[in-house]
C-alpha cells in the first residue's frame, strides 16, 4: 500500500542541499541542535563500545570460562560485528535520522516490524545503561577503599557479592543522576564530555598496553593454550567466554542515533561507525594479550575473580595502577553517558511518530536546550530501576550483562535480515552525500556480506541466550534466573506486541513515516508499506 508522505514536523526548512533541508525531505523539521562534528560522532560510537569499561568489567568472566584461549573469541566477534557495521554504514548514509535502528527496520520491512525492532532495542539499551553503570564497582573501590560505601572499606567489593552488588547500585545510581543531567542540559555538553572522555580513554589504552607489555611474564603465544580454563568440554567453555567480546563490541551504531545532530551525516556517519569498531577492535585485542602476558599467575584464580584491576595494581604499584584505573573510571562514566544518549534518541524518534506511550512528553524537544528531556529522563530512570533489582540478588549482574547484549543483537537482526531481503529483491538505491560524492556502498559484495552478517547474528543470539547456569544462575538453584534471557526476551516481545496493537487501534492504523528519500537532492517519494 502506498501512503502519502506526511507534512514535515513544525519548523522551517532551509534550501535543499543543507542538512536541515535534507531532513525535511524525510518529513521532519530540524528540532535537535545540529552541532556534532566528525570526532564527536566517532566518540559516540567509541564511547558506547568503550573497551576500557567493558574489558575491565568482564575480563575475569571471560577468562574464568575459556582461560588464555578465550582471546580468540575477540577476533571472531570482531569479524562478525564488522559485517554488521558495514551493513549499518550503508543504511546510515541513506537514512540519516535519529532512532536509526527503528527507522532503518521500518523503511526496510514496514513499521510493524520496525516498531518491534525499536522496542527491543530500547529495552536492551536501558539494560545496557544499567550494566555500564555497574562497571564503576569494578574500578572505584580498587582506586580508593572509601568508595566501598556499603559495608565499609573492609567489605567484599566484588560485584557478585552481597556488599559489592549493593554498592554497585549506589555508585551506579549516582552516575545516572549525572549523565541524565548532562543529557538534559544539551548535546554540546554531551559531545564535549564524550570527546574529552574518548581522548582520555585512547591515551589510557595506549598507556595500559605499553605498561602491560613492559611487565610481561610470558610470551604472547600463551593465547594458543587453554591455561586457566574451567573444567569441562572446551568448546562449550569457549562459547560461554565469548560473552565478554560480544558485550564489548556493540553500540557502534550510536553515531547513527545522532544523525540529526551531526553535520554532513550522510558523509560522516558511515565512516565513524566503522572507525569506532575498528579502533576498538585493535585496542581491545592488545589489552587482552597484555593482560594475559602480564598477569602474575594464570592458575591461582586471581585473574578470574578480580580481572585486570588486580594485574594493574600488582604490576604497576599503587600509584601508577590507580592512575590508569582512574582513566578506566572516566571511560565508564563516558560510556554510560553515550549509551543513555543513544537510548534517549531512539525513544524520541519512536515517540514523535506517536509510536510510544506518553508520546507527547517523550517526543518533545526542549526549545532552550535542543534535547529530548523526557526521553533522557525515562532512560535514566529505567536504568536505575534495573540497577535496583541487583540490590537483593547479586547473581543478577552476569545475567544482566548477557541479557542486554542478546537484546541488542536481536534488534540488530531486525535490521540486517530485512536488508538482506531488500538486496535480493533489487538492492538499495544510490544517491550522493552532502559533498556530491556517491553514498557509501558495498557494491557487488553487499549480498555476501549481508548474508554472512545474518548467519553470525543468529548464531550469537542463540549463544548469548542459551540457559547456562554458570552465566545466568550463580545461585545454583534458581530456575527463573537460568532461563531469564528466554523469559525476558519473550516477555519483552509480548508486551511490545500488546502496546503496538493498542497504539494502532488508538491512532486508527499503522505508523506512517515520512518520505522515503535516500539520495541527496532528489525529489521525495512516498513510503511503500510491505503487505
| pLDDT tier, 396 (very low <50, low <70, confident <90, very high otherwise) | low
Residue in the structure block whose three cell numbers are 525529489 = 523
Measured CA to CA, the distance from residue 328 to residue 137 in angstroms comes to: 11
Helix (H) or strand (E) holding 528: strand 527-528
Residue 5 pLDDT: 33
2-3 and 527-528 strand pairing:
antiparallel
Residue 394 pLDDT: 61
Q: pLDDT tens digits for 8-17?
A: 333 333 333 4
Q: Cβ atoms within 10 A of the Cβ of 488, count?
A: 20
Mean pLDDT across 70-94: 97
CATH class as words, domain 39-503: mainly alpha
What Å distances lie between residue 409 and 124, 234, 330, 442, 453, CA to CA?
Answer: 9, 24, 26, 22, 11
Q: pLDDT tens digits for 192-225?
A: 999 999 999 999 899 999 999 999 999 999 999 9
Domain residues of the chain, as ranges? Answer: 39-503
Residue 454 pLDDT: 98
Q: Quick one: which of 32, 62, 54, 102 has its CA closest to 336?
A: 54
Asked whether residue 518 carries a pLDDT value surpassing 50, the answer given is no
Residue 398 pLDDT: 65
Q: Which three cell numbers stand for residue 520?
A: 541527496
Name which residue leads in pLDDT, 226 or 512.
226
Q: Who contacts 426 (Cβ-Cβ below 8 Å, separation ≥6)? A: none
Report the Cα–Cα distance between both ends of the chain, in Å, rounded: 7
Residue 248 pLDDT: 86
Q: Cβ atoms within 10 A of the Cβ of 245, count?
A: 28
| pLDDT tier, 53 (very low <50, low <70, confident <90, very high otherwise) | confident
Mean pLDDT across 71-82: 97
Measured CA to CA, the distance from residue 209 to residue 471 in angstroms comes to: 29
Name which residue leads in pLDDT, 31 or 521.
31
Residue 99 pLDDT: 87
Mean pLDDT across 230-239: 94
Q: Cβ atoms within 10 A of the Cβ of 398, count?
A: 22
Q: Which three cell numbers stand for residue 94?
A: 541513506
* Contact of 351 with 375, CB cutoff 8 Å: yes
Q: Which three cell numbers stand for residue 490?
A: 519473550
Q: Who contacts 87 (Cβ-Cβ below 8 Å, separation ≥6)? A: 415, 416, 419, 442, 449, 450, 453
The DSSP letter of residue 31 is: -
Q: How far is CA 528 from the centre of its chain?
A: 30
Q: pLDDT tens digits for 281-325?
A: 999 999 999 999 999 999 988 888 888 878 887 887 777 878 888
Helix axes 446-465, 484-507, angle to 10 degrees: 120
* Contact of 354 with 363, CB cutoff 8 Å: yes
Q: Who contacts 495 (Cβ-Cβ below 8 Å, separation ≥6)? A: none
Q: Which three cell numbers stand for residue 373?
A: 528531556
Q: For the chain, percent helix, then strand, then coil, each to nearest 5? A: 70, 0, 30
Q: Cβ atoms within 10 A of the Cβ of 310, count?
A: 18
Measured CA to CA, the distance from residue 321 to residue 396 in angstroms comes to: 29
Amino acid at each position: 500500500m502506498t501512503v502519502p508522505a506526511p507534512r514535515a514536523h513544525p519548523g522551517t526548512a532551509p534550501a535543499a542541499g543543507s542538512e536541515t533541508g535534507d531532513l525535511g525531505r524525510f518529513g521532519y523539521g530540524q528540532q535537535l541542535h545540529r552541532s556534532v562534528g566528525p570526532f564527536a560522532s566517532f566518540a559516540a560510537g567509541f564511547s558506547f563500545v568503550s573497551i576500557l569499561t567493558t574489558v575491565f568489567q568482564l575480563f575475569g568472566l571471560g577468562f574464568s570460562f575459556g582461560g588464555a584461549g578465550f582471546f580468540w573469541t575477540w577476533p571472531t566477534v570482531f569479524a562478525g560485528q564488522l559485517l554488521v557495521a558495514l551493513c549499518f554504514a550503508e543504511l546510515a548514509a541513506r537514512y540519516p535520522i535519529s532512532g536509526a535502528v527503528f527507522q532503518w527496520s521500518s523503511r526496510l520491512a514496514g513499521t510493524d516490524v520496525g516498531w518491534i525492532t525499536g522496542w527491543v532495542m530500547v529495552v536492551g539499551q536501558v539494560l545496557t545503561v544499567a550494566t555500564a553503570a555497574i562497571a564503576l564497582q569494578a574500578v572505584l573501590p580498587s582506586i580508593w577503599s572509601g568508595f566501598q560505601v556499603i559495608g565499609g572499606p573492609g567489605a567484599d567489593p566484588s560485584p557478585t557479592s552481597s556488599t559489592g552488588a549493593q554498592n554497585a547500585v549506589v555508585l551506579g545510581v549516582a552516575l545516572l543522576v549525572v549523565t541524565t543531567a548532562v543529557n538534559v542540559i544539551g548535546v554540546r555538553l554531551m559531545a564535549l564530555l564524550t570527546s574529552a572522555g574518548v581522548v582520555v580513554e585512547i591515551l589510557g589504552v595506549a598507556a595500559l598496553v605499553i605498561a602491560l607489555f613492559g611487565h610481561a611474564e610470558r610470551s604472547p603465544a600463551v593465547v594458543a593454550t587453554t591455561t586457566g580454563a574451567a573444567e569441562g568440554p572446551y568448546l562449550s567453555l569457549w562459547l560461554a567466554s565469548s560473552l565478554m567480546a560480544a558485550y564489548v563490541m556493540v553500540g557502534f551504531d550510536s553515531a547513527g542515533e545522532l544523525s540529526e545532530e551531526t553535520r554532513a551525516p550522510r558523509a560522516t556517519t558511515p565512516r565513524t561507525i566503522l572507525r569506532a569498531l575498528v579502533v576498538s577492535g585493535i585496542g581491545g585485542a592488545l589489552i587482552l594479550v597484555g593482560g594475559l602476558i602480564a598477569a602474575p599467575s594464570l592458575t591461582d584464580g586471581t585473574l578470574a575473580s578480580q580481572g585486570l584491576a588486580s594485574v594493574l595494581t600488582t604490576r604497576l604499584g599503587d600509584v601508577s595502577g590507580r592512575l590508569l584505573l582512574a582513566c578506566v573510571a572516566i571511560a565508564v562514566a563516558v560510556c554510560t553517558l553515550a549509551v543513555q544518549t543513544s537510548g534517549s534518541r531512539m525513544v524520541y524518534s519512536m515517540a514523535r511518530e506517536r509510536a510510544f506511550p506518553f508520546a507527547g512528553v517523550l517526543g518533545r524537544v526542549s526549545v532552550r536546550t535542543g534535547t529530548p528531556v523526557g526521553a533522557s529522563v525515562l532512560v535514566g530512570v529505567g536504568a536505575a530501576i534495573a540497577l535496583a533489582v541487583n540490590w537483593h540478588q547479586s547473581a543478577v549482574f552476569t545475567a544482566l550483562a548477557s541479557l542486554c547484549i542478546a537484546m541488542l543483537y536481536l534488534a540488530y537482526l531486525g535490521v540486517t535480515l530485512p536488508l538482506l531481503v531488500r538486496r535480493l529483491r533489487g538492492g538499495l538505491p544510490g544517491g550522493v552525500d552532502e559533498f556530491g560524492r556517491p553514498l557509501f556502498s558495498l557494491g557487488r559484495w553487499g549480498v555476501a556480506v549481508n548474508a554472512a552478517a545474518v548467519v553470525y547474528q543468529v548464531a550469537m543470539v542463540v549463544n548469548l541466550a542459551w540457559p547456562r547456569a554458570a552465566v545466568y544462575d550463580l545461585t545454583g538453584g534458581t530456575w527463573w534466573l537460568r532461563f531469564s534471557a528466554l523469559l525476558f526476551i519473550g516477555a519483552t516481545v509480548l508486551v511490545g506486541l500488546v502496546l503496538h496493537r493498542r497504539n494502532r487501534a488508538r491512532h486508527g492504523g499503522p505508523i506512517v513515516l515520512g518520505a522515503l528519500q535516500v539520495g541527496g537532492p532528489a525529489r521525495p517519494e512516498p513510503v511503500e508499506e510491505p503487505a
